[in-house]
Amino acid sequence: MKNDHSCQAGNGAKPASATDGNASGFTRMRSKLAFDRLVEMGAKMGMENPLFLCHERAAKATTLINGKEYLNFSTYDYLDINAHPEITEAVTEAAALYGTSAGASRLVGGERPPHRELERALAELYGVEDCIVYVSGHATNVSTLGFLFGHRDAIFHDGLAHNSLVQGARLSGSTRYSYAHNDCDALEELLRNKRAEHKRAVIVTEGLFSMDGNIPDLPRIIALKKQYDCMLLVDEAHSLGVLGATGRGAREHFNLDPTDVDMWMSTLSKSMCGCGGFIAGSRELVEFLKYGSPGFVFSVGMPPVIAVACRKALEIMLREPERVHKLQQISQFFIRYAAEIGLDTGAAQGYAVVPVMVGDPMVAGFLSNALFKRGVYVMPITFPAVKEGTDRLRFFLSAAHTEEHIRRALDAVREAMPEARAIVDEYKRTHADAAEGD
């Protein structure tokens, strides 16, 4: 991986490193060594580093990098709302009134009207009593699970649950059970065998899985939750704005009673065009979190301008459901066209996130490089983000994408795939021959 395209690093800039003998350094950490080997191998093979490229304008269906326009499949702007003029106007007015910082933790002096307005709107969206907004989406899960549960409790989570959910489970000190991805039979077996050993229990899943683009069987999970006396947290980071006729997420998709889910969680960085995260649920739960959750109590409040941006994005989504319909239609077209030209989209169901399965990390990297040279920007996803052997390109789709965009991108994948595989196969063959000759 040869070049550094970072906005911050200069040409040839190298990070400072500790000596091998420095116990506080990172040079001997297993994950770093594995990454170093990948970077070194990629550089020897002529692969440029696809990470940290500097985008010079808002990332929409297209983006601008080093003055060149690319088709963009690495943006969370699912509903094509980011940079909407109404949002720009609203945040400009809010910045003039509140500045750009909440100034303090909301508990002690950072509370502003936009925070409460956003929380009321999100609670109404989910049909529950209240909502709490955190300054970070990742911290929402870590802090909520870490605070609510303890060593006498159990957390049952999907095997492909997001890192934030797993880290929150670890922080809690609860016994953690991982069940096979989207396998409710495996979950039921774990609950039957282990639930009685713990005081409290929570089942954790996602509304739309961020790597595979598939949806869990929430009605059955809710039935298991009730049968085994568990709480339920559903992470809607990638399903809010994506599922349902009006973008209300998994609740609308399955026509669920909103109170059957104890914690509706989502980030605000995807369809809501901001940053941060929230938990929506009962008033008692939200009050408990507001007075005790470390990620809320000990963190500065969300900047009021971000709260205003998210509130306006939510308003636009509900006012213009055609954005949701366009996203769903283009996602389904992606699945159909990929199948038509022989590309594997794995378990994806055609909702905003669609992988093209590759199966080898170096092939995924070279494929991403080849597409970039053809004017298509899409990122490779490899271990440890996904299981070894399930390496892929991950496409994020937007209501701004057209069928022509999809055809152009997928045709480029089909054309570039054989060459990427040939480069990697040749490298492996050559180095295997060299090893045998030693």
pLDDT digits (tens, 9 = 90+) for 9-19: 444 444 444 44
Give pLDDT, residue 437.
53
Predicted confidence band at 359 (pLDDT cuts at 50, 70, 90)? Answer: very high
DSSP, collapsed to helix, strand or coil, labels residue 316 as helix
Annotated catalytic residue, options 238, 253, 401, 405: 238
Give pLDDT, residue 30.
57
Q: Pick the more confident residue, 429 or 282.
A: 282
Chain-centre distance for alpha carbon 201: 25
Mean pLDDT of 182-204: 98
224 touches 184 (CB < 8 A): yes
pLDDT reading at 76 higher than 70 = yes
Is 101 noted as a catalytic residue in this protein? Answer: no
Nearest residue to 209 (alpha-carbon basis) of 167, 181, 178? 181
364 touches 391 (CB < 8 A): yes
Q: Pick the more confident residue, 4 or 361.
A: 361
Give pLDDT, residue 384.
82
pLDDT reading at 29 higher than 80 = no
126 touches 280 (CB < 8 A): yes
Q: How far is CA 289 from CA 123, 233, 278, 282, in A?
A: 15, 14, 11, 11
Q: Pick the more confident residue, 188 or 27.
A: 188
Is 115 noted as a catalytic residue in this protein? Answer: no
Mean pLDDT of 306-316: 98
Give pLDDT, residue 430.
82
Is 238 noted as a catalytic residue in this protein? Answer: yes
Mean pLDDT of 354-376: 95
**Omega within 30 of 0 (cis) for the link into 15:** no
Mean pLDDT of 16-41: 56
List domains and CATH numbers for the chain.
Answer: 46-79+321-429 (3.90.1150.10), 85-319 (3.40.640.10)
Give pLDDT, residue 219.
98
Annotated catalytic residue, options 270, 312, 401, 405: 270
Contacts of residue 181, defined as CB under 8 A and 6 or more positions apart, other chains included, come to 158, 159, 160, 209, 212
Q: Output the CA angle 397-383-334, nearest 5 degrees.
A: 20
pLDDT reading at 204 higher than 90 = yes
Beta partners for residue 63, in sequence order: 70
pLDDT reading at 293 higher than 50 = yes
Please count the CA atoms within 13 angstroms of the CA of 36 that sit on its side-chain side: 11
pLDDT reading at 115 higher than 70 = yes
Give pLDDT, residue 434.
52
Mean pLDDT of 202-222: 97
Q: Pick the more confident residue, 403 or 428.
A: 403
Annotated catalytic residue, options 164, 210, 331, 398: 210
pLDDT reading at 436 higher than 70 = no
Percent of the chain with pLDDT over 90: 82
Give pLDDT, residue 25.
60
Percent of the chain with pLDDT over 70: 89
Give pLDDT, residue 34.
54
- Tokens 């009685």 locate to 196
Predicted confidence band at 103 (pLDDT cuts at 50, 70, 90)? Answer: very high
Nearest residue to 128 (alpha-carbon basis) of 15, 304, 246, 286? 286
Predicted confidence band at 52 (pLDDT cuts at 50, 70, 90)? Answer: confident
115 touches 307 (CB < 8 A): yes
Q: Taking the model in full, what pTM does it have?
A: 0.90
Asked which of 33-37, 38-42, 154-158, 238-242 is least confident by mean pLDDT, the reply is 33-37
